[in-house]
Structures are given as C-alpha cells and as structure tokens.
A and B are shown apart, each in its own frame.
Chain A
C-alpha cells in the first residue's frame, strides 16, 4: 500500500531534550516536506527536500533540522525543543513538487513541556 508513515504519532517531552520524528514514504517520491499545523494558523511549511541531499527552508524553519540521506526517509530533528514547538506535525511527499498532489502522513502530535 502506497503510504507515508510517521513515528511517533504522539510524543510528550520536556524543553531541551533532543528528539527526532521520522518520516518514510514507499512511493519513490522525489519531493518531501514537513509542515506544522496550529489552530488559526493553518499548515505552515518547515522544510522541504527536492531530492536526496537537497533540502531548503520553508516558512518556519527556526528550531528545526532535517536531512535527506535516502530517498524514502526525511526525518525532522528538534535539537532543543521549546514549548512554542508544541504542534501537530505532518510529513508529505509527492512525485515532483509543483504539479503533483502531496500525500500526507498521519501526523505527529508533539507536546513540549
């Protein structure tokens, strides 16, 4: 089944404790992206990747890191999480961005205390 998976689905952590949210897709998509969703603010792009080893900042990259060492995986790293990073995070992928639909993962609900 074609899908985007994220882990963990739920996470409660404390300020400053490094964490990684994994994202994997099995559709051989070139493009992958991370979004955060907050009430009243909609979906905001954090980082995206056009292909392996090619990443770029979205609208709200501060406090986040990403890497794209393999085509299928695009982990989101929070080196020192803070409470303002409490949010619902979505990973998405598409064959090629611009003219293709994005497939979203199920989401990761992160709470930083």
Chain B
C-alpha cells in the first residue's frame, strides 16, 4: 500500500539554526498537507500544496512540492523556541478517492535556546 515516509524522525537544533524535514511518498500524490503538533497538543494545519513544483512561504517556513509530486519538504529558517513540535506531512491515498489520508510518522523538532 501507499506509504509516506518522513525523515528525519528527530532533529535537535540550536536556536537560530535552520531545519528541514522531508516527506517521500511511494506513489504520486494529488496534494500534500503539512501539520504541526505542539507537545501535548493536537495537529494544526499549516499548508496544502497541489501543483507540481509548487513553493509556498509562510514567514520563516518554506514548503516545496516536488516536480513528480512524490516528495515534499518543509524548511524553517532561523528556528525559534516557538517552532518546537512534531511536523507531519499527509497525502491522500492513491488510486481512489481523496477521502483517506496517510500521515507520515512525523519529525520531532526540539530547539535549544
């Protein structure tokens, strides 16, 4: 079945350093979503990418969707302690309706002040 792999599983950085998490799907995705979950909280939607090669920015966060629509990345410039949390990518199940979502296992980001 379709798999969505995320790397790295964990990332610890010093405040001010950059951070990148990568998401790779075994199949082509019609779109990809990114979520952030703070410790003890619930996932919160960040963004959705739909077009091949799409790049979107939200302040210090840059999201990319690969040309083949099988991979995506989230890059945070100059991390802050408020960036701490787990970042998930999610894509609709291939070959059928978009109603089933497969989540990557997430990347846990910790930031040392």
Contacts and interface: CB of A to CB of B under 8 A. Distances in A.
Nearest to B47: A101
B88 to A, nearest CB: 7
A97 B33 CA distance: 12
Interface of B: 30-31, 33, 35, 41-45, 48, 50, 88, 90, 92, 97-106
Given A42-B103, A103-B45, 14 more contacts: A35-B103, A40-B105, A42-B105, A42-B106, A45-B102, A59-B102, A98-B31, A98-B97, A99-B48, A101-B45, A102-B101, A104-B42, A104-B44, A107-B42
A98 to B, nearest CB: 3
Interface residues of A, number: 27
Contact of A42 (B30, B42, B88, B99): B88
A103 B43 CA distance: 8
A43 B88 contact: yes
B45 A48 contact: no
Nearest to A41: B105
